[in-house]
Amino acid sequence: MRSNASATAAYYDKDGKQDLNLKGGHAVQAWIDYDGVAKLLNVTVSPFSWKPTTPIISFPVDLSSVLLEEMFVGISSSTGLLSSSHYLFGWSFSMNGLAPSLDLSTLPSLPKPKKKTHSLAISTSVAAFVLLVVAVIGGAYLFYRIKNADVIEPWELQYGPHRFCYEELKRATKGFRDKELLGCPPSTKAEVAVKRVSHESKQGIREFVAEIASIGRLRHRNLVQLQGWCRRRGDLLLVYDYMPNGSLDKYLFDNPPKVVLSWNQRLRIIRGVAAALVYLHEEWESVVIHRDVKASNVLLDADMNGRLGTSAWQSSTSTGATPLTRTGKATTSADVFAFGAMMLEVVCGRRPIEPKALPEELILVDWVWELWLAGRVSEAVDHRFCGDYAEEEVNTVVRVALMCSHPTASERPTMRDVVRYLDGDADMPELRSPLPNEDRLSPVAFDDFVHSYPSSSFEKVSS
């Protein structure tokens, strides 16, 4: 409440203005007079029974808007929201003229002050108990913070921009409830996905984190951006852009799928992933080999654009399309081979190996080769298109996919050439059948290859 007029407690006598202590323990009398004609409110106080001639407050105010014909009138000794510090012994009221004077002799005497010894002891005990509880809670909280604090070693400071606070990620994901966690950390103000992985690599944690930070510097519209990381004891948390439409394989292999991707959507996804691989192989500061190009590692953003996953340490399981050399050393041509297999997955809506398929259809690339040589490629096209696709574009994609899937690395095109072929900016060379039928791409041909999967799905190669 805000007062329209206020003044320090005082009264006027023949010697002038005298200050008045309202907490002095002595009786004080107050007069409140309102002149309806002059519309003037006067307040006068005095420690005596007589009324001073000069009021302490004289304030012009029109009360006609609040005064009714019939209403209740009362006076309170309240001093605000806290408990009252005054006693009201008596009062009188009159609508017209002076109110009757109070007979002070009939009023009750001032109550004696209560002894403070007992209340002081209680207050002291309560205060001590509260302090003890606060100290215990504070100590427990401090112990929890120290126990769960992020341990940041000096060498980690150089990767500072990509390091997230563990508690920040925990709050953003509501306690890491799911395997694939979504949240909106305050430091990013954008929805991100968080993946928790265990560090089981033989390489040192320092090199491990350095590789993550390096991957985090990759920038391309068709790569899933790795925003950062967090290290907590034996766990690593990877933070990357959230892709609302999930992975490509769900749309290709789920039966029935949530949505059947049109041919135009699939072609745009293929071109996007190809552009991302050109960036990794040729346009970044050093050559980067992805090593995990497959439909399940292609994520779709809100506009169904394909983005190649960049989060390291994803599970690497054989897809039946593993073109590693006999030394197990990955090369850019290995990415090209995997991209060729992925293109066939997209066109055909089938996995590289279908255990339940007919023997001649078991290995996708072998089957498509047979159909290509027989001039029956349309039989391999995903039946869910219902014939709604551009035949010439499909033939181009299948032809490029078979070139990429050639078992001889030197026969495969570069990703730069792949983009040119897909965009129609270069003439494609003659497609040559790789090997005789019996040796083409059967599982036996790869039995003696070293299947070596690194801790990271990316590998940098010196230029």
Which positions are catalytic?
A: 292
* DSSP letter assigned to residue 14: T
| Cα-based distances in Å from 418 to 210, 285, 415 | 31, 21, 5
The CA distance from 335 to 316, in Å, is 14
99 forms beta bridges with: none
The 3-state secondary structure of 65-92, one letter per residue: CCCCCCCCCCCCCCCCCCCCCCCCCCCC
Which position has the token pair 């949240």?
A: 183
The token pair at 19 is: 């200050």
Residue 278 near residue 271, CB atoms below 8 Å: no
Q: Transcribe 189-257 into DSSP letters.
A: -S-EEEEEEE---SS-HHHHHHHHHHHTT---TTB--EEEEEEETTEEEEEEE--TT-BHHHHHHSSS-
* DSSP letter assigned to residue 279: I
Closest CA to 44 of 28, 55, 60: 55
The 3-state secondary structure of 299-332, one letter per residue: EECCCCCEEECCCCCCCCCCCCCCCCCCCCCCCH
The CA distance from 119 to 304, in Å, is 72
The token pair at 357 is: 């398929």
183 forms beta bridges with: 192
The CA distance from 370 to 332, in Å, is 27
User: Sheet harboring 29-35: ordered strands across?
Assistant: 29-35, 40-46, 57-60
Residue 399 near residue 428, CB atoms below 8 Å: yes
Q: Transcribe 127-183 into DSSP letters.
A: HHHHHHHHHHHHHHHHHHHHHT-----GGGGGGGGGBPPHHHHHHHTTTT-SSEEEE
The CA distance from 215 to 195, in Å, is 15
